[in-house]
Amino acid sequence: MTLIKETLNEISNNFIRLSDKSTGKIELASNLIIKSLENGGKIMFCGNGGSAADSQHLSAELVGRYMKNRKPLASVALTTDTSVITAISNDFTFDDIFSRQIEAIGNEGDILYATSTSGKSKNIISALKTARSLKIKTIGIIGNDDYGLKDLCNIIISAPAVRSDRIQEMHIAIGHIICEILESKLC
């Protein structure tokens, strides 16, 4: 019982800190995405491990539905095509799995929504660099430290926690909040 209460209190305190620190940044990210979608752009999601799962989840919320039936919103998870990912990994390097896809389908006016719990993933850094070179706006969803990603992102939202699982809990909540904002303003 004590572990449960301590864990729930920790999670609650993390979300209070997130609210204090990042409300404005979440709104900025939402507005950036709205502008892109209104101008015919798309949202490209990428991440590794649990962040890859979040990428797929959030893209599905936009293409499908989050809370209400509406027209689909242009979105793709760069984490889903195993043939592309394994071919790029084999023929080039794993660091290029997202950047090559961005080169292929990314356009100025699109958004790259890159999630990294550690902020150190080489393939995320490469993706952000490629996006910036193509004048694609970038949103970084990261852990407590930016590890230099602030220079690669138009907007960085950091989760104020140390443990990976606590960071990931906030990452999916940030994504869900953005989905709800998009549905409320675009539909």
98, 80 Cβ separation under 8 angstroms: no
Mean pLDDT of 75-90: 98
110, 76 Cβ separation under 8 angstroms: no
User: CA–CA separation, 105 vs 69, rounded Å?
Assistant: 27
User: CA–CA separation, 169 vs 97, rounded Å?
Assistant: 25
- The structure's pTM equals 0.96
pLDDT on residue 146: 67
All domains in the chain, ordered by first residue: 2-186 (3.40.50.10490)
> Does 97 have pLDDT greater than 80?
yes
48, 121 Cβ separation under 8 angstroms: yes
CA-based end-to-end distance of the chain: 43
pLDDT in tens, 8-52: 999 999 999 999 999 999 999 999 999 999 999 999 999 999 999
Across 20-142, where does the E strand assignment appear? 43-46, 75-77, 111-116, 137-142
